[in-house]
Amino acid sequence: MSNYEKPDFWSQKAQRESYPARSVYKLQEIDKKFSLLPKNQGQVGPNYRVLELGAAPGSWSLYVLRRFSGRGFLAACDISPLSRRYDGGLFDGGNFFFKRADIFTEETLSELAALGPFDLLLSDAAPSTSGGRLIDAARSLELAEAVLLYARAALKEGGGLCVKIFQGADTADFIKKLRPSFASLNTFKPEACRASSFETYIVGRGALITAG
Protein backbone atom coordinates (compact mmCIF):
# COMPACT_ATOMS: atom_id res chain seq x y z
CA MET A 1 0.00 0.00 0.00
CA SER A 2 1.41 3.41 -0.96
CA ASN A 3 1.56 6.22 1.57
CA TYR A 4 -1.18 8.03 -0.35
CA GLU A 5 -3.58 5.11 0.17
CA LYS A 6 -2.89 4.66 3.89
CA PRO A 7 -5.73 5.95 6.05
CA ASP A 8 -4.38 9.26 7.37
CA PHE A 9 -5.42 11.49 10.25
CA TRP A 10 -8.36 13.10 8.40
CA SER A 11 -9.64 9.83 6.90
CA GLN A 12 -9.62 8.12 10.30
CA LYS A 13 -11.39 11.09 11.88
CA ALA A 14 -14.01 10.95 9.08
CA GLN A 15 -14.67 7.27 9.81
CA ARG A 16 -14.96 7.91 13.54
CA GLU A 17 -17.39 10.75 12.94
CA SER A 18 -19.41 8.82 10.32
CA TYR A 19 -18.55 10.73 7.17
CA PRO A 20 -17.74 8.88 3.93
CA ALA A 21 -14.84 11.20 2.99
CA ARG A 22 -12.16 13.34 4.62
CA SER A 23 -13.22 16.29 2.48
CA VAL A 24 -15.83 17.17 5.11
CA TYR A 25 -13.07 18.79 7.19
CA LYS A 26 -12.30 21.21 4.38
CA LEU A 27 -15.91 22.44 4.47
CA GLN A 28 -15.86 22.54 8.26
CA GLU A 29 -12.76 24.78 8.23
CA ILE A 30 -14.21 27.05 5.54
CA ASP A 31 -17.51 27.26 7.43
CA LYS A 32 -15.72 28.14 10.69
CA LYS A 33 -13.62 30.82 9.01
CA PHE A 34 -16.29 32.41 6.82
CA SER A 35 -19.56 31.52 8.64
CA LEU A 36 -21.04 30.04 5.47
CA LEU A 37 -23.96 28.31 7.18
CA PRO A 38 -26.13 29.87 9.89
CA LYS A 39 -24.28 29.48 13.23
CA ASN A 40 -27.08 27.66 15.04
CA GLN A 41 -29.97 25.50 13.95
CA GLY A 42 -32.54 28.04 15.14
CA GLN A 43 -31.32 30.42 12.43
CA VAL A 44 -32.11 27.87 9.68
CA GLY A 45 -35.58 28.94 8.57
CA PRO A 46 -37.87 26.74 6.43
CA ASN A 47 -36.91 28.82 3.37
CA TYR A 48 -33.16 28.47 3.88
CA ARG A 49 -31.86 26.63 0.81
CA VAL A 50 -28.47 25.24 -0.18
CA LEU A 51 -27.36 23.90 -3.57
CA GLU A 52 -24.35 21.58 -3.68
CA LEU A 53 -22.57 20.52 -6.89
CA GLY A 54 -20.12 17.60 -7.02
CA ALA A 55 -21.59 16.09 -3.86
CA ALA A 56 -20.57 12.40 -3.94
CA PRO A 57 -19.84 10.43 -1.83
CA GLY A 58 -21.81 12.84 0.37
CA SER A 59 -19.70 14.15 3.26
CA TRP A 60 -20.52 17.80 2.61
CA SER A 61 -24.22 16.89 2.18
CA LEU A 62 -24.17 15.12 5.55
CA TYR A 63 -22.41 18.06 7.19
CA VAL A 64 -25.11 20.44 5.92
CA LEU A 65 -28.02 18.12 6.79
CA ARG A 66 -26.65 17.48 10.29
CA ARG A 67 -26.36 21.25 10.80
CA PHE A 68 -29.94 21.69 9.50
CA SER A 69 -31.44 19.23 12.03
CA GLY A 70 -34.48 18.69 9.82
CA ARG A 71 -34.90 22.34 8.83
CA GLY A 72 -34.00 24.10 5.56
CA PHE A 73 -33.51 22.36 2.21
CA LEU A 74 -30.49 20.92 0.40
CA ALA A 75 -30.36 20.04 -3.31
CA ALA A 76 -27.25 18.09 -4.30
CA CYS A 77 -25.93 16.82 -7.62
CA ASP A 78 -23.19 14.48 -8.83
CA ILE A 79 -22.53 12.11 -11.72
CA SER A 80 -21.68 9.47 -9.11
CA PRO A 81 -24.04 8.07 -6.47
CA LEU A 82 -23.96 9.06 -2.80
CA SER A 83 -22.70 6.60 -0.22
CA ARG A 84 -25.52 5.41 2.05
CA ARG A 85 -23.11 4.04 4.65
CA TYR A 86 -23.32 6.83 7.19
CA ASP A 87 -26.39 8.91 6.37
CA GLY A 88 -28.72 7.21 8.87
CA GLY A 89 -31.73 7.99 6.64
CA LEU A 90 -30.91 11.71 6.21
CA PHE A 91 -30.74 11.26 2.42
CA ASP A 92 -34.36 10.01 2.50
CA GLY A 93 -35.61 13.14 4.29
CA GLY A 94 -38.09 15.56 2.74
CA ASN A 95 -35.57 18.42 2.99
CA PHE A 96 -33.06 16.68 0.70
CA PHE A 97 -33.04 16.18 -3.07
CA PHE A 98 -30.29 14.40 -5.01
CA LYS A 99 -29.92 14.60 -8.76
CA ARG A 100 -27.50 12.12 -10.34
CA ALA A 101 -26.40 14.07 -13.40
CA ASP A 102 -23.69 16.02 -15.16
CA ILE A 103 -23.66 19.67 -14.06
CA PHE A 104 -22.67 20.73 -17.59
CA THR A 105 -26.06 19.82 -19.07
CA GLU A 106 -28.72 22.51 -19.52
CA GLU A 107 -31.41 20.16 -18.26
CA THR A 108 -29.56 19.76 -14.93
CA LEU A 109 -29.10 23.51 -14.62
CA SER A 110 -32.76 24.27 -15.20
CA GLU A 111 -34.01 21.46 -12.95
CA LEU A 112 -31.80 22.53 -10.06
CA ALA A 113 -32.35 26.27 -10.58
CA ALA A 114 -36.11 25.64 -10.36
CA LEU A 115 -35.58 24.39 -6.79
CA GLY A 116 -34.06 27.73 -5.77
CA PRO A 117 -33.36 30.49 -5.29
CA PHE A 118 -30.61 29.42 -2.91
CA ASP A 119 -28.93 31.11 0.03
CA LEU A 120 -25.70 29.20 -0.49
CA LEU A 121 -24.04 27.43 -3.42
CA LEU A 122 -21.32 24.90 -2.59
CA SER A 123 -19.15 23.15 -5.14
CA ASP A 124 -16.44 20.63 -4.38
CA ALA A 125 -16.73 19.32 -7.97
CA ALA A 126 -13.39 18.11 -9.29
CA PRO A 127 -12.30 16.36 -12.47
CA SER A 128 -10.76 12.89 -12.29
CA THR A 129 -7.11 13.74 -12.02
CA SER A 130 -4.95 12.91 -15.03
CA GLY A 131 -1.67 13.57 -13.25
CA GLY A 132 -1.01 16.42 -15.66
CA ARG A 133 -1.32 19.66 -13.70
CA LEU A 134 -2.17 21.86 -16.72
CA ILE A 135 -4.93 19.53 -17.93
CA ASP A 136 -6.39 19.09 -14.44
CA ALA A 137 -6.39 22.86 -13.80
CA ALA A 138 -8.11 23.49 -17.15
CA ARG A 139 -10.83 20.89 -16.40
CA SER A 140 -11.31 22.28 -12.91
CA LEU A 141 -11.70 25.78 -14.35
CA GLU A 142 -14.42 24.47 -16.72
CA LEU A 143 -16.28 23.09 -13.71
CA ALA A 144 -15.87 26.39 -11.81
CA GLU A 145 -17.19 28.31 -14.86
CA ALA A 146 -20.23 25.99 -14.87
CA VAL A 147 -20.74 26.67 -11.14
CA LEU A 148 -20.79 30.38 -11.94
CA LEU A 149 -23.72 29.76 -14.33
CA TYR A 150 -25.60 28.10 -11.45
CA ALA A 151 -24.80 31.09 -9.22
CA ARG A 152 -26.17 33.46 -11.85
CA ALA A 153 -29.29 31.34 -12.36
CA ALA A 154 -30.11 30.36 -8.81
CA LEU A 155 -28.41 32.37 -6.05
CA LYS A 156 -30.40 34.77 -3.88
CA GLU A 157 -29.23 38.34 -3.61
CA GLY A 158 -26.89 38.41 -0.59
CA GLY A 159 -26.21 34.68 -0.92
CA GLY A 160 -22.88 32.87 -0.51
CA LEU A 161 -20.65 30.78 -2.73
CA CYS A 162 -17.86 28.31 -2.03
CA VAL A 163 -16.24 26.75 -5.10
CA LYS A 164 -13.19 24.53 -5.39
CA ILE A 165 -10.62 25.22 -8.06
CA PHE A 166 -7.31 23.61 -8.98
CA GLN A 167 -4.97 26.56 -9.23
CA GLY A 168 -3.63 27.27 -12.69
CA ALA A 169 -2.58 30.08 -14.99
CA ASP A 170 -6.21 31.22 -15.46
CA THR A 171 -7.32 31.22 -11.81
CA ALA A 172 -6.56 34.92 -11.30
CA ASP A 173 -8.72 35.83 -14.33
CA PHE A 174 -11.57 33.69 -13.02
CA ILE A 175 -11.41 35.45 -9.63
CA LYS A 176 -11.36 38.82 -11.40
CA LYS A 177 -14.51 37.82 -13.28
CA LEU A 178 -16.25 36.76 -10.06
CA ARG A 179 -15.28 39.81 -8.00
CA PRO A 180 -18.02 42.23 -9.16
CA SER A 181 -20.69 39.64 -8.32
CA PHE A 182 -19.93 39.48 -4.57
CA ALA A 183 -19.53 42.05 -1.80
CA SER A 184 -16.50 40.08 -0.59
CA LEU A 185 -14.38 37.41 -2.21
CA ASN A 186 -11.56 35.35 -0.66
CA THR A 187 -9.45 32.35 -1.53
CA PHE A 188 -8.61 29.83 1.17
CA LYS A 189 -6.76 26.52 1.31
CA PRO A 190 -7.93 24.50 4.33
CA GLU A 191 -5.39 22.53 6.37
CA ALA A 192 -7.31 19.35 5.58
CA CYS A 193 -6.22 19.63 1.91
CA ARG A 194 -3.37 17.27 1.09
CA ALA A 195 -0.08 19.17 1.15
CA SER A 196 0.62 18.03 -2.41
CA SER A 197 -2.75 19.27 -3.68
CA PHE A 198 -2.99 22.48 -5.66
CA GLU A 199 -6.68 22.91 -4.91
CA THR A 200 -8.02 26.01 -3.26
CA TYR A 201 -11.50 27.34 -2.47
CA ILE A 202 -13.01 30.63 -3.57
CA VAL A 203 -15.49 32.00 -1.06
CA GLY A 204 -17.88 34.75 -2.06
CA ARG A 205 -20.33 36.45 0.31
CA GLY A 206 -23.09 38.94 -0.24
CA ALA A 207 -24.01 37.99 -3.82
CA LEU A 208 -24.78 41.04 -5.91
CA ILE A 209 -26.27 38.85 -8.64
CA THR A 210 -29.92 37.91 -8.44
CA ALA A 211 -31.39 34.72 -9.77
CA GLY A 212 -33.41 34.86 -12.93
Ligand X SMILES: C[S@@+](CC[C@H](N)C(=O)[O-])C[C@H]1O[C@@H](n2cnc3c(N)ncnc32)[C@H](O)[C@@H]1O
Q: Find the helix packing angle between 24-34 and 9-16, rounded to 10°.
A: 90
As measured in angstroms, the least distance from the Cβ of 138 to ligand X is 13
Query: Using CA of residue 89, residue 95, residue 100, residue 103, what is the dihedral sign?
Result: negative
Q: Is there a catalytic annotation at residue 13?
A: no
As measured in angstroms, the least distance from the Cβ of 128 to ligand X is 7
Cβ proximity to ligand X: between 102 and 157 the closer is: 102
As measured in angstroms, the least distance from the Cβ of 191 to ligand X is 16
Point out which residues pair with 207 in neighbouring strands.
Answer: 182
Residues 6+ apart with CB under 8 A from 45: 71, 72
Cβ proximity to ligand X: between 58 and 159 the closer is: 58
As measured in angstroms, the least distance from the Cβ of 183 to ligand X is 25
Cβ proximity to ligand X: between 133 and 179 the closer is: 133
- Which residues sit at the interface with ligand X, rule CB under 6 A? 20-21, 23-24, 54-60, 77-80, 102-104, 124-127, 143
Cβ proximity to ligand X: between 65 and 77 the closer is: 77
Q: Which of 32, 39, 164, 189 is catalytic?
A: 164
Pairing status of strand 49-53 against strand 118-123: parallel
Residues in the chain: 212
The residue type at 80: S
DSSP track, 173-205: HHHHHHGGGEEEEEEE--TTS-TT--EEEEEEE
Report whether 63 contacts 52 (CB < 8 A): no
Would you name the residues annotated as active-site residues?
A: 164
